[in-house]
Chain A
Amino acid sequence: MQRSETMSIQSSADVVLVRQAVRQFALGLGFGLVDQTKVVTAASELARNTLDYGGGGTVKLEALEEGIHRGLRLTFEDTGPGIPDIDLALKDGFTTGGGLGMGLSGAKRLVNEFNIVSRVGEGTKITITKWK
């Protein structure tokens, strides 16, 4: 299995391709069905944010191995307008895009590690990790 891969997110069809690639990585790492579904769903939310709010960007998929632990790390990066108030953006139900506002907060709940760095006018980088 591949150890890392970077994909471009420029259209809603790319979001589907990201979902499929994340599923393949999770399968390759031996994730169970529920964990696969969780990480794919989190990836779908973040890939859509990268497209809709970030104006497109990339995602890097990495297979991790720390001792006996195996995990999947996804890094979403865009050079869009950035998030002025991260705490507010992470609140359930907060949305600027007419969605349900569950994307960011929901994705965070579905994974083990969640890290977000954003600078207004420069872009946003979100890293999530799901351990098996």
Chain B
Amino acid sequence: MERIPILQMGEFLLVTIQVDMHDRLAMALQDDLTDRINRTSARGVLIDISALEIVDSFIGRILGNIAKMSRVLDAETVVVGMQPAVAITLVELGLSLTGIRTALNVEKGMALLHKSFEASVRDSIDGHAEV
């Protein structure tokens, strides 16, 4: 079965969705990502959807699931690159993508992940000093 590739960049995983995803492919991505976070101890996931021409309720649900699952595994998810027409349609469809962090593009998404990673490292150092 075809799979969406997951690239590793240091502490982060990078996914670029470049195909019109059918439902089973989206489910496979969800499973593969949680598995990879677990195996690599990744601290962040960046999902680039700039090539996606639509986000319907199913894809929206999968993105939400990925964000929730990665949080449980101590990783942050940022979705980047949503096309304006897709954003307009999503809002009218009634999906707000609650709990999903978004950024305009890959660069801004990476900056967001770095910032939250550094903040969590600082927190753990501070926490350690108090002990």
Q: Which residues of A contact B (CB under 8 A)?
A: 12-13, 15-16, 19-20, 23, 33-34, 36-38, 40-41, 44-45, 48, 92, 99-100, 102-103, 105-107, 109-110
Contacts and interface: CB of A to CB of B under 8 A. Distances in A.
Contacts of B94: 92, 102, 105-106, 109
A38 B20 contact: no
Interface residues of B, number: 22
B54 interface: yes
A16 B89 contact: no
B22 interface: yes
Contact of B88 (A34, A100, A107): A34
Given A15-B22, A15-B23, A40-B53, A102 B95 contact: yes
Interface stretch (B3-11, B56-64, B102-110): B56-64
24 contacts: A12-B24, A15-B22, A19-B54, A34-B85, A37-B83, A37-B89, A38-B89, A41-B54, A41-B55, A41-B56, A41-B89, A41-B93, A44-B56, A44-B58, A48-B56, A48-B58, A99-B58, A100-B57, A102-B93, A102-B94, A102-B95, A105-B94, A106-B57, A106-B95
B57 A38 contact: no
Interface in B33-65: 53-58, 60-61
Given A15-B22, A19-B54, A38 B92 contact: yes
A20 B20 CA distance: 9
B90 to A, nearest CB: 8
B97 to A, nearest CB: 10
B86 interface: yes
The 6 closest A-B pairs by CB, nearest first: A106-B93, A37-B85, A12-B23, A12-B22, A44-B56, A102-B57
B89 A34 contact: yes
Nearest to A20: B20
Nearest to B20: A16
A109 B54 contact: no
A99 B57 contact: yes
Contact of A109 (B21, B22, B85, B93): B93
Nearest to B23: A12
Interface string B89-126: 10011110000000000000000000000000000000
Contacts of B20: 16, 19-20
Contacts of A40: 53-54
